[in-house]
Amino acid sequence: GAGVSQSPRYKVAKRGQDVALRCDPISGHVSLFWYQQALGQGPEFLTYFQNEAQLDKSGLPSDRFFAERPEGSVSTLKIQRTQQEDSAVYLCASSRSGVSHEQYFGPGTRLTVT
């Protein structure tokens, strides 16, 4: 079946612009995660949904970052007034409900803020 898809794959934004990154999880996966991966680093947790409920947003770096999953499927990560430090790869992952299920990752969106 289809894996996790993300769009766009690459995004260049001028500093101060707003961006929206989309994630389509695997069909039927209840949990959805966003991670930020800076160059040369491991992914860092941003936020987590179970269905449409955002259960943990402790990793969002500032109030310029906002995520939603209104119908419990597709999710959008929005960054307002982008800054150069926002340049990174944004990874989305989904998983089935349950404690031991692994997360399946999408290819990521590489955001470059100029």
Closest by Cα among 14, 33, 10, 15 to 23: 33
Judged by CB under 8 A, the stretch of 12-20, 63-71, 74-82, 87-95 that binds other proteins is: 87-95
- Total site size for other proteins, rule CB under 8 A: 26
Stretch that binds other proteins, among 17-25, 67-75, 78-86, 103-111 (CB under 8 A): 103-111
- Going by C-alpha positions, the residue among 53, 84, 40, 80 that lies closest to residue 64 is 80
**Which of 21, 77, 91, 113 touches other proteins (CB under 8 A)?**
91
- The answer to the question of residue 103 lying near other proteins (CB under 8 A) is yes
Task: Let me know: does 1 contact 27? Beta carbons within 8 Å.
Answer: yes
Q: Is 55 in the site for other proteins (CB under 8 A)?
A: yes
Asked if 107 is part of the footprint of other proteins (rule: CB under 8 A), the reply reads yes
43 touches other proteins (CB under 8 A): yes
Cα–Cα distance measured from residue 112 to residue 50, given in angstroms and rounded to the nearest whole number: 29
Q: Are 36 and 90 in contact (CB under 8 A)?
A: yes
